[in-house]
Amino acid sequence: MDNTPVPLSQIKKFSRSKNNVVLTGVFAGIADYLKMEPANIRVIALLTLLFGGWSVVAYLITASLIPVDKNPIPLSQPEIISLRKENFKTVISGLLILFGFYFALRIIGITGSSRIFILPNDFIFPLTAFAIGIYFLIIKPSKAEIILSGQPEKLFRSRADRKLTGVCGGLAKYIGIDATVLRIIFILAALLTLGIFTSLYLILVAFIPYEEGQKFE
């Protein structure tokens, strides 16, 4: 067994990520240190809010104590854009899961405290909304990013991403959203309108052609 001590310079240091940042890069740093997916850590961290807001205090203390990574791996512009998109989706999905659990627990009858730290909820929630607004103003994507995201000029039914006729797959690609989410929206709308909404689906099936040259999966 090799008992040679590892040089100090090779010991992995715990630092905030400079490349993979949503707020301060703490969770990407933790994920890098533990060799985990940063998205998993972020969603778990969001879910800890269900137990009160003390995790926010812990987060702020950690962010102020841990230094930023001094030697980050340089990323190309497309890599940065794709990372930002992934992080945005992670935050949105985390918030949906968090609110889903929060309201599910309320329906069951488990309600949290009316206060977070020493402040009442009706003060903390508006403050959080205000902070989120400021955050989105700061990270507003540049025009270059919008152009790079590229959307198809023409609407087709998808052969590759299809469950029934490829309408949702094609429409999702055209609009630039997730096909599964669009399918769920279609099903919910059809249920809420007692099936009348399916007339839209039938119209789209009848008039939208399949994309030429695209192969079936």
Partner 1 sequence: MIFGILSMLSSRNIILLTFEDVVGIVFIFYSIPTVYSALNNGERGKLTASTIVFLVGVVYLVKSYFEILDTRGIVFFSVLFISGSVLVILFIENIKEKIFLFAGIVLLVLSYISITQFKKFGLFSAANRIGNLFEVFWPVILIVMGMIIFINRKK
* Interface residue list for partner 1 (CB under 8 A): 39, 43, 86, 89-90, 92-104, 107, 122-123, 125-134, 137, 143, 146, 149, 151, 153-155, 174-178, 180-181, 184, 188-189, 191-194, 196-197, 199-200, 203-204, 207-208
User: Count of CB atoms within 10 A of residue 50's CB?
Assistant: 13
Closest among 173, 181, 182 to 210, alpha carbons compared: 173
Question: Cβ 76 to partner 1, closest distance in Å?
Answer: 17
Task: Using the minimum distance from each CB to partner 1, give the nearer residue, 36 or 86.
Answer: 86
User: Count of CB atoms within 10 A of residue 132's CB?
Assistant: 12
Q: How many helices (H) and strands (E) does the chain have?
A: 9, 2
Task: Using the minimum distance from each CB to partner 1, give the nearer residue, 16 or 173.
Answer: 173
Rounded Cα distance between 73 and 17, Å, is 10
Task: Using the minimum distance from each CB to partner 1, give the nearer residue, 76 or 151.
Answer: 151
Closest among 140, 127, 108 to 53, alpha carbons compared: 127
Question: Cβ 140 to partner 1, closest distance in Å?
Answer: 10
Question: Cβ 133 to partner 1, closest distance in Å?
Answer: 3
